[in-house]
Structure 1
Amino acid sequence: MYQEERLLAILEFLKKNNRITVEQICTLFDISRDTARRDLVKLEEEKSIIRTRGGAILPLAQNHVPSYSNRLKTVSNEKEQIGRRAASLISPGDTIILDTSTTVQACAESLGDLDCTVITNSINQAEILSAKQSLNIQLLGGTLQKEHRYLYGLSVIEKLSEYHVDKAFIGVLGVSEKGLTNVHEEDGEIKRKMIEQAKQVIVLADHTKLGKTGFFKYASLKDIDLLITDRTPPKAFRDLLTENNIDLLTADERDDI
């Protein structure tokens, strides 16, 4: 197993168990204590963990979002599956909005060379889609957020108000009974406007985002039409979706639930 794969697996273990020891890492991945320690040093450098005596725990504060480039290094198979599922919903002639999340980028990467129009404020999405000759790309201009590689500001929101699109694909830090949330207010304001301009709002969120609430709320559950995730959520969460008339698709099957 490569180091990046182990790092993802360690973080998944921490999310479920809150803490991990060096001995557990050695046993789980059949590696030496030195290798386990190097993995923990790497995760600490990425500010994903707090090292403790003999192991690690998750940071108490989860409001910090790693830079876009760091998040791309850990795009999971689940996000790729969600992206493919989302891309399958886009048809020739569609007008769509793609936001700046890494899960939505997985959708852009899976999108075929279709005759459709894509509106985005993401530098990465525009670069990926520029290789597809049939696509018309509208890159929204504004102030560059260098760390997370998106354009923001009043000019972006004003330009968005001129468009009326078929579908908006939106990523989240968290989706819960409190609505859709993220960390950065300027990004949230843009997502809010994207949602307003779309006939159908499609939220892409892997299972770790379900039931989670971030700092800034930019939409209510009633604003969502469809949620795509990687596995069937617990019944209580499915009931919450039903109460708010939200359809559910899972990336590992072709039938909605």
Structure 2
Amino acid sequence: MFQLDRHKQIYEYILKNKNATVNELAEIFDVATMTIRRDLDKMERDRLLTRVFGGAVIGSNMVKEEGYEDKEKSNIDEKVKIAKEAAKLVSDNSIIILDAGTTCMEIAKELVERKNLKIITTDILIAAYLMKYENIEVYCTGGRIQSNIGSCIDSHAMEFLNNINADICFVGASAINEDLDLFTFLSDKSKVKKAMMNSSQHRVLVTDNSKFNKRSFAKICSLKDFEIVITNEGLDEDIKYEIANKGVNIKII
């Protein structure tokens, strides 16, 4: 097993069980206890967990991925407001990339009256929603579909994205830590999001304020890699200051 795969499984195991000992993990993954200690030390440096005597724990600011139906019910009013603000950045005759997720689904709903759009998405549900609109040319990146989420997450999706040139992309994040680094749950998903950003002239982060001061498994990028952040009211003033200090335009709705 590759180290990154083992780290992911260790993270998921401790997230589920709240804690684990070195000996327990060594037995589960059939490796030496020294290997597990090195794994845990590296994961602590990456702020994925906290080392304790004989093992590790995961704090309450670590997040786990919800299924699509749960995400649909979470902070829906905030997501609609964010989507309406995001849609203002889209002109007719544009090429847009929409990340997977319920916030980007709300953006898709706001764009159906625009003329002559090309929309590329990694979300099969967004693609299915938009396909009935003749004024929108829809592309789904394809690739392996994440179960219970509907997101395309493998190298096929990355290859598709690496070969296009979009005007703007709208990207979401599962967690944003205290250093304003963005995270998601899967390393493959983080690579796909990076490919979206690399293929777009303009980059917009769309996220509700519940994602801040949280951590997850796979780093995507720094928040400073975006031109604009759109989020909802209630964000801590210190976080607003740090975002502005990075030269990023923040829109609070």
- How far apart are 1:178 and its partner, in Å? 4.1
The aligned counterpart of 2:73 is 73
Rounded Cα–Cα distance in structure 1 between residues aligned with 2:126 and 2:158 = 18
2:86 maps to a residue whose letter is: A
The aligned counterpart of 2:203 is 201
Matches within 5 A, 1:43-122: 60=60, 62-114=62-114, 115-122=116-123
Q: Secondary structure at the match of 1:96?
A: strand
The aligned counterpart of 1:123 is 124
Q: Secondary structure at the match of 1:157?
A: helix
Most deviating of 134-143 and 110-119: 110-119
Structure 2: stretches of 5+ with no match in the other structure: 1-58
Deviation readout 1:74-119 (Å, 9 max, x if unpaired):
3521111111111122110111100102111111122233211101
The percentage of aligned residue pairs carrying the same residue is 23
Rounded Cα–Cα distance in structure 1 between residues aligned with 2:145 and 2:181 = 27
Q: Secondary structure at the match of 1:189?
A: helix
More RCO (CA 8 Å, sep 6+) = 2
> What's the TM-score, normalizing by structure 1?
0.70
Rounded Cα–Cα distance in structure 2 between residues aligned with 1:210 and 1:112 = 30
Rounded Cα–Cα distance in structure 1 between residues aligned with 2:117 and 2:97 = 11
Rounded Cα–Cα distance in structure 2 between residues aligned with 1:238 and 1:73 = 26
Alignment root-mean-square deviation, CA: 1.8
Rounded Cα–Cα distance in structure 2 between residues aligned with 1:65 and 1:163 = 29
The aligned counterpart of 2:146 is 145
Rounded Cα–Cα distance in structure 2 between residues aligned with 1:123 and 1:160 = 15
- How far apart are 1:60 and its partner, in Å? 4.2
2:151 maps to a residue whose letter is: Y
Q: Does the 8 A contact of 1:108 with 1:129 survive in 2?
A: yes
Most deviating of 183-192 and 210-219: 210-219
The aligned counterpart of 1:20 is none
Q: Does the 8 A contact of 1:99 with 1:171 survive in 2?
A: yes
The aligned counterpart of 1:50 is none
Rounded Cα–Cα distance in structure 1 between residues aligned with 2:149 and 2:241 = 34
Q: Does the 8 A contact of 1:167 with 1:199 survive in 2?
A: yes
Q: Does the 8 A contact of 1:97 with 1:119 survive in 2?
A: yes
Q: Does the 8 A contact of 2:112 with 2:136 survive in 1?
A: no
Most deviating of 204-213 and 134-143: 204-213
> What's the TM-score, normalizing by structure 2?
0.71
Structure 1: stretches of 5+ with no match in the other structure: 1-58, 252-257
